[in-house]
Amino acid sequence: NALGSSTASRANEVTRPDRSWQLLHLRLIFSAKHVAPIVSSYNERIRPVLDAVWCHTVENLRRLNITKEGIQLPTIVVVGDQSSGKSSVLESLAGISLPRGQGICTRVPLIMRLQNHSLPKPELVLEYNAKIVSTDEAQVSDAIRVATDELAGGGKGISNTPLTLVVKKDGVPDLTMVDLPGITRVPVHGQPEDIYDQIKDIIMEYIRPEESIILNVLSATVDFSTCESIRMSQGVDKTGERTLAVVTKADKAPEGLHEKVTADDVNIGLGYVCVRNRIGDESYEDARAEEANLFRTHTLLSKIDKPIVGVPVLAQKLVQLQAASISKILPEIVKKINDKLGSQLSELDKFPRKLTYGANAMSAFMHIIGLAKESLSKILLSGEFDEYPDDKHICTVPLLSSLTRLTAYWKIVLRRLIDSTALHLQFRIFNPVKKDVGYEIVKDVMSQCGGGIQRLLKESPSVALNRDKLNRSIKVLRESKKVVASITDKVSSYGN
């Protein structure tokens, strides 16, 4: 009881984010049964804002597929060379097992949405190819493999079609991360020769947007400057202001690790976090206890500053970076949504009015026939060519030209022939133009094989496709605008 009271007292004192590791260590020392989840005290303090801004806003915007409208959202992108320990890091954050094996295990972008939720048991769902597949902690690894095979094929190739995994579980941090294929330069049997270029193209697509936070996974066993993932992240983030590095396998190469993360020769602007990977069949709780003990007691690793060691610290930093990024770019997201919505509405206004079947279609049809008859009357009966200033030759009567060449002497006969021919032609044209044109067109349209007015006035496939595309875009943008507006009101109620 005394021990418990002491722990509670210390827990009340530890409120600053940079001291949360002390609380964790105390709990680990006293009892493995009291190991805290990796959701830190910092996460608990900012949860109202995170719930308002992240879960309700960004996740809803993702659900609406706002990125297809060219509007980028804050995203934590996980990159690393093959065998750097990427999967272990993600497993530790999510508390679930991911596919393992030789070669590239992640063959498609895996979007992991972690949501802290006090459910009786975790809920796991896979979303891909318009499917929603429920799974559980025991089956999730196999379910990911099945989904990956469907997206990328059953071989060892990769695909840029994303797979989403939603994890609702008590104790996980509220994070959305994109895990990308590990970087490899040498294709193995069954992989395309340009596998490196394919992987690089996918990675660059995700890390290039300025809204992306790059989580660069580095193995402590290698020279950081030689890592291909560092080369790629430096290509889009030269100052490292949006790059955080997590160093795995600290227990495998403790020598010189303190100096490597202190020197920062590769411009990691957001700093380093050193972690110990889960080994074998260790439970996640046992792994965290072993990790805390390692950095507390190891001769070399204990020299590393405590605010940059451990998976709980990594979770805390990611949550903090995510929240800061959202609050920073939220006004810009609102502006982009409004601008794009205005642009799409303006574009839609340029389309011809879409006719509904019935009275509107019949009225428009009769108006078109009237215009056609009027034009024919002007050209054929009155000789007015105002509508076609460049095409007067279309009304030249070959017959008249032939009669002028008959003889230059028969002027009177010629004039009479021309006058009578013109009168005859005018008489013969009058009935078709004034009476038969409209009748014949309507008869043809309304016949059984004519298809009716609906067929005649139906939009072309390209116009209909563009109209539908604009309408879908406008619907998404309007819903996104409502989402952002409602959450902005909630956030403002929190004050500073």
pLDDT bracket for residue 435 (50, 70, 90): low
Instruction: Please tell me whether residues 368 and 269 are part of one structural domain.
Output: no
Instruction: Please tell me whether residues 18 and 47 are part of one structural domain.
Output: no
The β-bridge partners of 247 are 218, 274
Give whole-number Cα distances, 245 to 241, 264, 265, 373, in Å: 11, 10, 12, 76
| pLDDT, tens only, 205-258 | 999 988 899 999 999 999 999 999 999 999 999 999 999 999 999 999 999 999
Domain carrying residue 413: 359-458
- Does any domain span residue 205? yes
Q: Give the list of residues 6+ apart from residue 374 with CB closer than 8 angstroms, or none.
A: none
- Does any domain span residue 114? yes
Instruction: Please tell me whether residues 385 and 282 are part of one structural domain.
Output: no
Instruction: Please tell me whether residues 326 and 415 are part of one structural domain.
Output: no
pTM: 0.67
Q: What is the CATH number of the domain that holds 151?
A: 3.40.50.300
Q: Domains in the chain: how many in total? A: 3
Measured CA to CA, the distance from residue 117 to residue 119 in angstroms comes to 6
Torsion 139-141-142-145 (CA) sign: positive
Length of the chain: 496
pLDDT of res. 454: 61
Which of 76-85, 122-131, 407-416, 486-495 comes out lowest in average pLDDT?
407-416
pLDDT bracket for residue 453 (50, 70, 90): low
The number of angstroms, rounded, from the C-alpha of 476 to the middle of its chain's C-alpha atoms is 13
pLDDT of res. 101: 64
For 136, which DSSP code? Answer: -
Average pLDDT over every residue of 261-283: 90
Instruction: Please tell me whether residues 28 and 80 are part of one structural domain.
Output: no
Which of 239-243, 261-265, 322-326, 421-425 comes out lowest in average pLDDT?
421-425
Instruction: Please tell me whether residues 173 and 311 are part of one structural domain.
Output: yes
Measured CA to CA, the distance from residue 348 to residue 470 in angstroms comes to 7
Instruction: Please tell me whether residues 192 and 327 are part of one structural domain.
Output: yes
Instruction: Please tell me whether residues 281 and 302 are part of one structural domain.
Output: yes
Answer for the pair 378, 387: CB distance below 8 angstroms, yes or no: yes
